[in-house]
Structure 1
Amino acid sequence: MRRPFSLLCAGLTLFVSVCSGGGQAWAQREVIQHQPYVDLRKYYLGFRLGMHAPDLRITNRGYMTPEGTSLWADTPSYQPGFSVGVIGGVVLVPSLELRLMPTLHLGETEVDYTDGRSRVASHSVKMHSVTLPLELKWGAMRLGNIRPFISAGIYAGSFLGGRRGDVLRLKALDYGAMLGFGCDLYFRLFKLSPQLTLSYGLSNALDAKRTDLRDDHRIYYTHAIERAASRMVLLSFSFE
Structure 2
Amino acid sequence: MIMNIKAFIITSFAISSSILANSQERIVQNRPYTDLRPFHLGISIGTHVQDLELMNVGPQTTNNIDGTITKQLITTDQSRWDMGFNVGVYGEFRINEFLQMRIAPTMYFGSRHIVFHNSSTATVTENQQDMKTVYICAPIDLIFAAPRFNNHRPYILGGISPAINLSGKDKDYIKLKRYDTFAEIGLGCDFYLPFFKVRPELKFMYSLINSLDKDHIKRIEDKSMLPYSNSINEAHSKMIVLTFYFE
Which bin holds the TM-score, normalised by the shorter protein?
A: over 0.9
The letter of the residue matching 2:90 is: I
* CA deviation after TM superposition for structure 1 residue 220, in Å: 1.9
Q: Where do 4+ consecutive residues of structure 1 move more than 2 Å? A: 1-5, 63-69, 115-119
Map of 1:143 onto structure 2 = 149
The letter of the residue matching 1:62 is: G
Map of 2:163 onto structure 1 = 157
| Residues 1:12 and 1:220: Cα distance change in structure 2 (over 3 Å) | same
Larger Rg: 2
| Structure 1: distance between partners of 2:144 and 2:21 | 21
| Residues 1:193 and 1:119: Cα distance change in structure 2 (over 3 Å) | farther
Which among 32, 48, 62 is matched to residue 28 of structure 2? Answer: 32
Deviations 1:121-172 (A, max 9, x none): 2211122110110000011121210110000000100111212222221110
Is 1:201 matched up with 2:207? yes
Q: Which moved more, 1:225-234 or 1:7-16?
A: 7-16
Query: SS of the residue aligned with 2:224?
Result: coil
Gaps of 5+ in 2: 63-69
| Structure 1: distance between partners of 2:138 and 2:149 | 31
Q: 2:129·2:172 contact (CA, 8 Å) conserved in 1?
A: no
Map of 2:53 onto structure 1 = 57
Map of 1:168 onto structure 2 = 174
| Structure 2: distance between partners of 1:150 and 1:114 | 40
Which among 216, 226, 233 is matched to residue 219 of structure 1? Answer: 226
Q: Which moved more, 1:5-14 or 1:171-180?
A: 5-14
Calculate the TM-score normalised by the size of structure 1: 0.92
The letter of the residue matching 2:117 is: T
| Structure 2: distance between partners of 1:144 and 1:182 | 16
| Structure 1: distance between partners of 2:2 and 2:235 | 17
| Structure 2: distance between partners of 1:100 and 1:2 | 32
Gaps of 5+ in 1: none
| Structure 1: distance between partners of 2:54 and 2:162 | 20
Map of 1:17 onto structure 2 = 17
| Structure 2: distance between partners of 1:105 and 1:58 | 21
Q: How many residues align?
A: 236
